[in-house]
Amino acid sequence: MAWRDDWRRVRAIARKDVTTELRAKAGFNSTASLGVTILILLGLALGPDAQALRDAAVGAVWLALLFSGVLAFNRSFQVELESGALEPLLLYPGPRWTIFAGKLLGNLLFLGLMVAIVVTVGVVLFSVEIPARWPTLLGVLALGVVGLVVLGTFYASMASRSRAREVLLPLLLFPMLVPALVAATTASKALLGADLMHDADAWIRLLAAYDVIFLIATFLAFEHVIEA
């Protein structure tokens, strides 16, 4: 079965990436620490009024995720490039999209863990009250992170091989993330409040559509991007 072989390739690449990260830990520790540091700085800049912090919590957490996530994406390709492993990876038989899918899965696991830490710290530092609809809130978070990882991984495959990867990736990625950022923050704020207008559902649909559209678009475009 062809799809089963492809799935094995995807898993192999994801496992390789996660294993590398788990053994080194440097990447994870530095990006998670940066996320927490950004939260603390935002708390200092916006505080100490408790209500003001609570109002700003969603935006602060998302900005911390974006800025620390950007570092993680470049790493996933940089590690390959430094050890000259990208070319052999491209020479392996099988479709190229499996490389993208594998990287995507690896980054998703990696970032998912980081998000868990940053969000927990955010909830504590910004004294967020957990609403009754917290599972939906987690869903919004998950959808937003998927969008972030899909586009982040895609643009990192180019930016990490350019001359100015540190600055190029955020320059390419952040404007693209505007709809995801607006949708995720607005939906989260609605869920944290009373959501009297039932706004959250429309934003969640937009976020889901955004994820699906760019998942398809990046998978199609990756073939052209990864060519040596």
Taking the complex as a whole, the smallest distance from the CB of residue 119 to other proteins amounts, in Å, to 22
Taking the complex as a whole, the smallest distance from the CB of residue 183 to other proteins amounts, in Å, to 6
From residue 87, give the alpha-carbon distance in Å to each of 80, 99, 106: 9, 12, 19
**What's the chain's Rg over C-alpha atoms?**
18
Task: Convert residues 115-154 into a mask of x (bound to other proteins by CB under 8 A) and - (unbound).
Answer: ------------------------------------x--x
**What is the rounded distance in angstroms from the CA atom of residue 156 to the CA atom of residue 166?**
10
**What is the rounded distance in angstroms from the CA atom of residue 149 to the CA atom of residue 189?**
22
Q: If you search the block for the tokens 């004294």, which residue do you land on?
A: 127
Q: Is 206 in the site for other proteins (CB under 8 A)?
A: yes
**Helices (DSSP H) in 47-177: which residue ranges?**
50-82, 86-91, 97-125, 134-159, 165-176
Q: Is 210 in the site for other proteins (CB under 8 A)?
A: yes
Beta carbons within 8 Å of 174's beta carbon, 6+ residues apart: 66
Taking the complex as a whole, the smallest distance from the CB of residue 105 to other proteins amounts, in Å, to 20
Q: Is 221 in the site for other proteins (CB under 8 A)?
A: yes
Q: Is 225 in the site for other proteins (CB under 8 A)?
A: yes
Subset of residues 148 to 187 that bind other proteins, contact rule: CB under 8 A: 151, 154-155, 158-159, 161-164, 167-168, 171-172, 174-176, 178-179, 182-183, 186
Q: Is 202 in the site for other proteins (CB under 8 A)?
A: yes
Candidates 186, 183, 161, 184; CA nearest to 172 is 161
How many residues bind other proteins (CB under 8 A)? The answer is 34
**What is the rounded distance in angstroms from the CA atom of residue 103 to the CA atom of residue 129?**
35
Question: For residue 172, which phi and psi values (nearest 5 degrees)?
Answer: -80, -40
Subset of residues 98 to 117 that bind other proteins, contact rule: CB under 8 A: none
Stretch that binds other proteins, among 66-74, 76-84, 108-116, 208-216 (CB under 8 A): 208-216
For residues 35 and 5, is the Cβ–Cβ distance under 8 A? no
Q: Is 23 in the site for other proteins (CB under 8 A)?
A: no
C-alpha 17: how far from its chain's center?
A: 15
Residue 2 amino acid letter: A
Q: Is 90 in the site for other proteins (CB under 8 A)?
A: no
Q: Is 197 in the site for other proteins (CB under 8 A)?
A: no
Residues at the interface with other proteins (CB under 8 A): 151, 154-155, 158-159, 161-164, 167-168, 171-172, 174-176, 178-179, 182-183, 186, 202-203, 206, 209-210, 213-214, 217-218, 221, 224-225, 227
